[in-house]
């Protein structure tokens, strides 16, 4: 592990706690401070919208000022947004809480660029392993974020969860320190990203392998966010399972998202991108099958574990494949476009989840994911066939 990869991994541990706590608490907080219960998952959806809208902005900023300053800026913005969220919860203002979640999403758009920075820190054939190492930090992040959020939720008397966001403000500020020592790679090439020497977005999409990478990463997140956003509401609000059990399911889900990274990089090198994408689809199918049974704690736990493993295989494979499909001078344009598609689609998915879980059932929201899996398989087969010609 080189210096940059170490700094990025350390920053991932603290910075990514924002994502875990947002998924765990923002929907529950929304249901408590919103007078319209169908809008209870609007805060996590607004958070994802913040990511989606800011992806191109994040890539452009870093193409101008470098990754180091961009990452430090994002860390500070994330910390401030957590303080705003704490204030919003204290005064029970749903609108301000949504604004805070949006700003937190903007900061997360930069944090999601850590994976590309990790890939750039090593040789191209080691990119899957570097991305896997970075994602492994999510294991620590999940347990730190959710555990501390639960532990500090009563720190401010008569204001449940204010303490959780005050704690999160300190955690999300830590990457600003680590990444102040980050060294930008190939900084001289960042200004080459212009329309005279790079392909158009359409030219990116018609390239089979780029589309395969984009589809795998996008639908990996769409399905995962759709089901994960619905889980706390389905478990805690609809089926009256305890907050502790709900938190445990989310923790194990996040653990299963990142723990496979111990070997995903090696599996990709051994079996190739396409086979690992198929493996991810199989785990998503297992998740859907479990929804056909009684909605017990054990079934939720197993379903969310399979969901996490499927996401890991699909997302790591898609991201690793993506970095092989563009030239160095195209990196910010390609990465920004990729994340725009990934997280704008995820925003729609997350927003839909809250409405659909309120109107239908846990089984129905799972079955609605089947067309996405069919599309992943189709694009995968198409890319393999065209690449052989």
Interval 370-386: pLDDT, tens:
999 999 999 999 999 98
Note the residue count of the chain: 389
Residue 175's pLDDT is what? 95
Is the confidence at residue 352, as pLDDT, over 90? no
Of the two residues 254 and 213, the one the predictor is more confident about is 213
Residue 196's pLDDT is what? 53
Residue 244's pLDDT is what? 81
Is the confidence at residue 286, as pLDDT, over 90? yes
Tokens representing 54 are 């800011």
Whether 44 is in a domain gets the answer yes
Residue 389's pLDDT is what? 64
**CATH assignment at residue 239:** 1.20.1250.20
> Cβ distance 12 to 134 under 8 Å?
yes
Of the two residues 24 and 323, the one the predictor is more confident about is 323
Whether 189 is in a domain gets the answer no
What are 329-346's pLDDT values in tens digits? 888 889 989 989 998 898
Residue closest to 67 by CA, chosen among 163, 196, 226, 179: 179
What are 149-198's pLDDT values in tens digits? 888 988 888 888 999 999 999 999 999 999 999 988 755 444 444 555 67
CA distance 318 to 315: 5
Residue closest to 105 by CA, chosen among 147, 42, 155, 157: 42
Whether 209 is in a domain gets the answer yes
Residue 383's pLDDT is what? 94
Whole-model pTM: value is 0.79
Express as a percent the part of the chain with pLDDT over 70.
96
Whether 86 is in a domain gets the answer yes
Whole-number average pLDDT of the chain = 88
Whether 186 is in a domain gets the answer no
CA distance 178 to 134: 14
Of the two residues 276 and 262, the one the predictor is more confident about is 276
Instruction: Pinpoint the alpha helices (H) of the chain.
Output: 3-15, 17-21, 27-33, 42-65, 67-91, 94-111, 114-120, 127-151, 162-178, 201-205, 208-232, 243-258, 261-271, 273-290, 297-322, 331-359, 362-367, 370-388
Is the confidence at residue 243, as pLDDT, over 80? no
Whether 185 is in a domain gets the answer no
Whether 12 is in a domain gets the answer yes
Reported confidence tier of residue 1, pLDDT bands at 50, 70, 90: low
CA distance 166 to 87: 9
CA distance 99 to 50: 9
CA distance 366 to 224: 10
Residue 129's pLDDT is what? 87
Express as a percent the part of the chain with pLDDT over 90.
49
* Least confident span in 47-56, 202-211, 220-229: 47-56
Residue 130 belongs to what domain range?
3-178+198-388
Whether 321 is in a domain gets the answer yes
Residue 188's pLDDT is what? 43
What are 32-45's pLDDT values in tens digits? 888 776 677 788 87
- Mean pLDDT within 244-271: 87
> Cβ distance 76 to 176 under 8 Å?
yes
- Mean pLDDT within 127-143: 85
Tokens representing 289 are 């099958």
CA distance 307 to 290: 11
- Mean pLDDT within 272-297: 94
Structural domains counted in the chain: 1
Contacts of 273 (CB under 8 A, 6+ apart): 212, 213, 317, 318, 320, 321
Residue 351's pLDDT is what? 77
């Amino acid at each position: 592990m080189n210096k940059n990869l170490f700094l990025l991994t350390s920053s991932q541990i603290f910075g990514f706690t924002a994502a875990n706590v947002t998924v765990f608490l923002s929907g529950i907080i929304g249901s408590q401070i919103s007078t319209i219960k169908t809008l209870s998952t609007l805060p996590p959806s607004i958070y994802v919208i913040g990511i989606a809208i800011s992806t191109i902005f994040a890539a452009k900023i870093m193409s101008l000022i470098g990754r180091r300053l961009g990452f430090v800026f994002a860390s500070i913005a994330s910390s401030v947004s957590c303080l705003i969220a704490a204030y919003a919860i204290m005064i029970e203002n749903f609108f301000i809480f949504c604004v805070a979640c949006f700003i937190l999403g903007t900061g997360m758009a930069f944090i999601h660029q850590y994976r590309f920075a990790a890939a750039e820190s090593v040789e191209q054939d080691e990119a899957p392993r570097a991305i896997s190492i970075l994602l492994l930090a999510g294991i620590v992040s999940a347990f730190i974020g959710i555990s501390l959020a639960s532990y500090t939720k009563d720190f401010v008397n008569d204001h449940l969860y204010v303490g959780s966001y005050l704690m999160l403000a300190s955690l999300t500020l830590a990457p600003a320190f680590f990444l102040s020592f980050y060294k930008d790679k190939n900084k001289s090439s960042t200004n080459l990203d212009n329309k005279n020497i790079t392909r158009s977005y359409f030219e990116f999409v018609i390239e089979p392998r780029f589309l395969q990478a984009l589809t795998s990463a996008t639908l990996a997140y769409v399905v995962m966010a759709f089901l994960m956003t619905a889980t706390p509401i389905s478990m805690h609000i609809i089926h009256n399972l305890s907050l502790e059990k709900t938190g445990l399911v989310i923790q194990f889900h996040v653990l299963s998202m990142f723990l496979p990274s111990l070997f995903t990089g090696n599996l990709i090198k051994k079996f190739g991108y396409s086979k690992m994408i198929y493996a991810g689809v199989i785990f998503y199918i297992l998740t859907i099958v479990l929804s056909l049974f009684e909605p017990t704690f054990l079934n939720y736990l197993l379903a969310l574990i399979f969901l996490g493993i499927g996401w890991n295989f699909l997302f790591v494979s898609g991201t690793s494949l993506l970095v092989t499909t563009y030239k160095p001078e195209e990196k910010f344009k390609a990465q920004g476009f990729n994340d725009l598609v990934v997280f704008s689609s995820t925003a729609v998915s997350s927003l839909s989840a809250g409405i659909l879980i309120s109107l239908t059932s846990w089984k129905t929201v799972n079955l609605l994911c089947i067309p996405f899996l069919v599309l992943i398989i189709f694009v995968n087969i198409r890319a393999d066939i065209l690449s052989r010609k």
